[in-house]
Amino acid sequence: MDSLYARLGGEPVLALAIERFYARVMVDDRLRVFFDTLDLGPLVRKQIAFMSHVLGGPEVYGGRDLRNAHAKLVHHLGLSDEHFDAVVDHLHATLAELGVSEPLIWEVLARVAATRNEVLDR
């Protein structure tokens, strides 16, 4: 059976999804504060590598672990379940906009949901 990464459409679909996802996030008043000081170019590339890895693609993710990468956001800016849910909602909407089937979207979201406690430093 093909990986979730392959069934999603591989690098072209993932890269487009991540770019559109961040476009949504950056206009969301609940989330923008977490990204205002970041250079989105490197962040998009890291996110593509991370999602490729999580979805069974060929990328090797070499970034910081999720707990350390988000600790400052949790402890200094109040990153919470509300924000995590908003991110998941934007990812769902982005994938739907790209024509990804609902069952496949839910597989992706399940992989993302599995990171919640680590991202939120619990």
Q: pLDDT tens digits for 67-82?
A: 988 999 999 999 999 9
Q: Give the model's pLDDT for residue 94.
A: 98
Write out the CATH class of domain 4-119: mainly alpha
Distance separating alpha carbons of residues 38 and 18, to the nearest angstrom: 15
Contact 55, 108 (CB under 8 A): yes
Say whether pLDDT at 12 is over 70: yes
Number of helical (H) and strand (E) elements in the chain, helices listed first = 7, 0
Residues 2-20 as b or e (16 or more Cβ within 10 Å = b): eebbebbbbeebbbebbeb
Say whether pLDDT at 1 is over 70: no
Tokens 């999720």 locate to 66
Rounded to two decimals, the pTM is: 0.92
Q: Which of 99, 91, 108 is nearest to 4 (CA)?
A: 108
Q: pLDDT tens digits for 17-68?
A: 999 999 999 999 999 999 888 888 888 998 999 999 999 998 777 778 889 8
Task: Read off the pLDDT of each residue in 92-105 and give the average, rounded to a whole number.
Answer: 97
**Spans of all domains in the chain:** 4-119
